[in-house]
Chain A
Amino acid sequence: MAGAIQTQTGLMETVERTAAQVFVRGGVLPWFLIFSIIIFTLATETFMTGQNFMLVARQATYLVMVSMGQMIVLLTAGLDLSVGVIFAIVSVTSSMVMVDHFNASGKEAVWGSIILGSLAGLGAGLLVGAVNGIGVAVFRVPPFIMTLAMSTIVFGIALTITGGTPIYGMPDQFASVFGYGSALGVPVPIWFTIGFVVIVYVLLAWTRMGRYFYALGGNLKASMLSGISTRYYLFMAYVVCAAITTVAALMLTARLESGESNIGRDYPLNSIAACAIGGVSLFGGTGRLANVVLGAIFIILVQNGMNLMRIGSYQQMIVIGILLVLAVIADNYRQKVLLTLRD
């Protein structure tokens, strides 16, 4: 009798310890995902369908991309609030160049226009990243201020050159391939995103630059004394972030079939939220790519589920905010448990 009770409490302890270890290893995100999927599946009929999942995946591509860029900057103990206006300036410059060249060629040079326009967008995006990088790495402007300032400057520029109106008239192929196209049954934007997840994984895990991003955010002085050009790699963090964001912006421009200044407004906060939910430290030095990708998907998933439940977008803002804070509280608790468990 007593023995049976003992084994039972022993079993309970094992279960508890295993749960604690799963929580400590993987963080709060897997639990968030499981709970939200259960809730949405029970509350709606349409959520748990292949069609809806494809929709979520396609909608999530842009945020996944931006969040990866944001993560790189966060790793170095920085912050990029200008990812939103990178969307604006990329969308505007690429579409203007594309439309101009397309019209000038008498609507003949379809792919030439698309390539030229995309390169112009890439140039504009990288320029924003480079200015951010120079401000932060060379002039030591706090990342928050630098990228905040850039977000108003660049938004102003985008509005000035367009007069605030959308730009239409891009070659149809741009939208049909990069916005709506698909290969092997999978939409092109998803292919791009998968490609970039692989590229960023390789960058972070298998190159010196990736290792240095972590080291820089973990201890700038120790990195400097280890012979790392901290200035160069800080600069590069903002450039790489801008590059990834630019690709996302080009795909979104293709999807919308127009160049617009206000297409990226939600990305700064949503990408930081995705990283925070994914366990990236805002103080730099720690964060895992897989969790960031899941964090971004989670945000889109919750929005999708709430849309299906006919929850208004205002109420959705409340829910996302609460989840963000809960995630960080849970992560703090995780750190505490981690210290007691050690190995």
Chain B
Amino acid sequence: MVHKDIGGPEPQGSGALDLLRLENISKQFPGTLALDQVNFNVRPGEVHVLFGENGAGKSTMIQIIAGVHRPSGGRILFKGEPVHISSVHHARSLGISAVFQEFSLVPQLSIEDNLFLGSEVRKGPLLDKVGLRRQAREVLDRLGFDLKPRDPVMYLSRAQQQMVEIAKAFRTKPSVMIFDEPTASLTERETTRLFALIEQIKKEGIGIIYITHRMNEIKRIGDRITVLRDGKFVATIGVEDASDTKLVELMTGRVIEQVFPTVHFAPKETLLQIDNMSTFDGSVRDVSINVRAGEIVGLAGLVGSGKSQIGRACFGLEKITGGKISFDGAVVFDARKINKLGPRRMLDRGLYYLPSDRRQEGLVMMQNVRENIALSSLWLRTFSNGVFLRRANERTVVKDLVRRLDLDPPNIERALEHFSGGNQQKVLVGKSLARDVKLFIFDEPTVGVDVGARVHIYNFIKTLCEAGAGVLLISSDLPEILHLPNRAYVMYRGELRAELPKNQINEQAVLGHFFEKQTV
């Protein structure tokens, strides 16, 4: 089942065509072999997508290319010459620039100051402000960015900040540019602009390494795709050969049926009924959906489509301006008349919202597993009487949950920050299992999770559903939406685009509603 060099022609020998070529690159970290003899090359004017699960070695590889880490084995050829990239500075002077996921901008400073941060233009001991502004203008104009060099970065949108970040990488006139999950926090419109820009950079003959774990982006932008798994090279294929099924199989090393369990649906009464809901910030407009007990309902859409806000609104986290929400037979929200939303109240009614950002919103990273799992249930009789906590009970319940979740290591007194992403996610799921829940709202339940944990989480969702709970699965992960739910809704820019029954959930139908162009 191992794929090797399918499709993509690999010129053997000198590799004179390549801007950058990695041969048998390995990286040993204390205790782990992060990269194991990986081969990779970038040609001028192509977008080479680096694809794989979290922990597959993508980041390690680009960090080696960008000069953050030194490889433990293998060699790097830059424009045909062997090089030892010794630092980020060195990489940049060679012409390799990286746009990292985390912005490296100082919000309070202006665009021009950010562009030249660390290499300010000077006249004697003083800053040459005029020269600096002229050069900043030049870079922005060349890229066709409509930005004012003197504007402070903090007033820019995410996409505009991304543009500044790109301009910063571009300033040193690179021949290889690395983009590390650049669309992670961009809206669809911003993403479209970014992709137009990458097309433009391509035309200048720059080789682009593009990291993502989103399959739909690959087809929009990629030329070739290299898949990594567990630090090993799996395959390099051309984009024309990359179907979703194939990519999932390459990425996970399993056939799709092994990743996604078959769920037996037995839909019963309606648990959640949302009628014509609109939110104050306009992220959701006039949306009506429902979820029944015993089914998994998918809620698909791109980042910024408003799908996440629907889940949050039901929990009382978004300001709602219109519409009606019923849960478990009771009206919990009716514009201007009834508002019984709010985390505590909805939890006690049996609705649990699992946020997508487990670090920021889901877990207390410095506390241990026991404290985290019990946190949203402490006021239940299992965990406390009127005055005191029942710590012995707490330990028993949490130990049992940890066994069911297959937490690794199964140490309930260990702080969350010392667990892997997948295991942290299991703890987040565990929080909801510590109490009686009728409806689970999973918001991106497998973001940054390895395939092993992913399989566990899917199986848990299956178990919950078959035990009679309702599940609303909010996800930008296409395979997840295609394979798990019983029904699926697709959101586009705050509006509900489609409701698809099980037999109509397929790639074309879902993707067709994701983007503007296909629907016109």
Q: Which A residues have a C-beta under 8 Å from some C-beta of B?
A: 202, 205-208, 211-212, 214-215, 218-219, 221-229, 285-286, 342-343
Contacts and interface: CB of A to CB of B under 8 A. Distances in A.
Given A218-B365, A285-B367, A223 B344 contact: no
Interface stretch (B209-217, B236-244, B385-393): B385-393
B317 interface: yes
B366 A218 contact: yes
13 contacts: A206-B391, A207-B387, A208-B379, A208-B384, A218-B365, A222-B375, A223-B375, A225-B317, A225-B361, A227-B348, A227-B376, A228-B343, A343-B411
A222 B363 contact: yes
B384 A226 contact: no
A211 B317 CA distance: 23
Nearest to A218: B364
Contact of B389 (A207, A219, A223, A343): A207
B292 to A, nearest CB: 25
Contact of B388 (A207, A226, A229): A207
A207 B379 CA distance: 10
Contact of A222 (B364, B379, B384, B418): B364
B66 interface: no
B219 interface: no
Nearest to A284: B366
A219 B364 contact: yes
Contacts of A212: 378
Contacts of A211: 371, 374-375, 378, 389
Contacts of A222: 360-364, 375
B344 A215 contact: no
B343 A225 contact: yes
B514 interface: no
Contacts of B411: 343
B353 interface: yes
A286 B366 contact: yes
Given A208-B378, A211-B378, A227 B364 contact: no
Interface string B329-348: 00000000000000110011
A206 B389 contact: yes
A221 B365 CA distance: 12
Contacts of A224: 343
Contacts of A208: 378-379, 384, 389
A219 B388 CA distance: 23
- 8 tightest CB-CB pairs across the interface, nearest first? A226-B376, A218-B364, A227-B344, A227-B343, A219-B364, A227-B347, A226-B375, A221-B361
B343 A342 contact: no
In this complex, the member of A215, A227, A228, A342 whose beta carbon has the largest number of chain B beta carbons within 10 angstroms is A227
B375 A221 contact: no
A337 to B, nearest CB: 14
Contacts of A206: 388-389, 391
B366 A226 contact: no
B418 A342 contact: yes
B462 interface: no
Contact of A223 (B353, B364, B387, B414): B364
B366 A285 contact: yes
B315 interface: yes
B393 to A, nearest CB: 13
A206 to B, nearest CB: 5
B367 A229 contact: no
A225 B364 contact: no
B421 interface: no
A226 B343 contact: yes
Given A207-B389, A228-B344, 13 more contacts: A202-B388, A205-B389, A208-B389, A215-B364, A222-B360, A223-B364, A225-B317, A225-B361, A227-B348, A227-B376, A228-B375, A285-B364, A343-B409
A205 B389 CA distance: 8
Contacts of B343: 224-228
Nearest to A224: B343
Contacts of B391: 206
Contacts of A207: 384, 387-389
B207 interface: no
B431 A226 contact: yes
Nearest to A210: B389
A343 B413 CA distance: 10
B360 A221 contact: yes
B384 A225 contact: no
Most chain A CB atoms below 10 A, which of B361, B362, B364 = B364
A225 B362 contact: yes
Contacts of B317: 225
B95 interface: no
A218 B361 CA distance: 11
Given A207-B387, A208-B379, A218 B360 contact: no
A224 B375 CA distance: 10
Contact of A343 (B362, B363, B379, B414): B414
B201 to A, nearest CB: 37
Contacts of B389: 205-208, 211
B362, B378, B411, B431, most chain A CB atoms within 10 A: B378
Most chain A CB within 10 A, of B315, B360, B367, B374, is at B367
Contacts of A214: 364, 367, 371
B366 to A, nearest CB: 5
B355 interface: yes
B375 A215 contact: yes
Interface string B51-82: 00000000000000000000000000000000
A228 B365 CA distance: 17
B332 to A, nearest CB: 15
A286 B371 CA distance: 13
A221 B364 CA distance: 9
Interface in B387-402: 387-389, 391
Contacts of A285: 364, 366-367
A25 to B, nearest CB: 13
A222 B376 CA distance: 9
Contacts of B366: 218, 285-286
Most buried by B among A205, A223, A225: A225
Nearest to B357: A221
A219 B378 contact: no
Given A207-B389, A208-B379, A342-B418, A229 B361 contact: no
B189 to A, nearest CB: 27
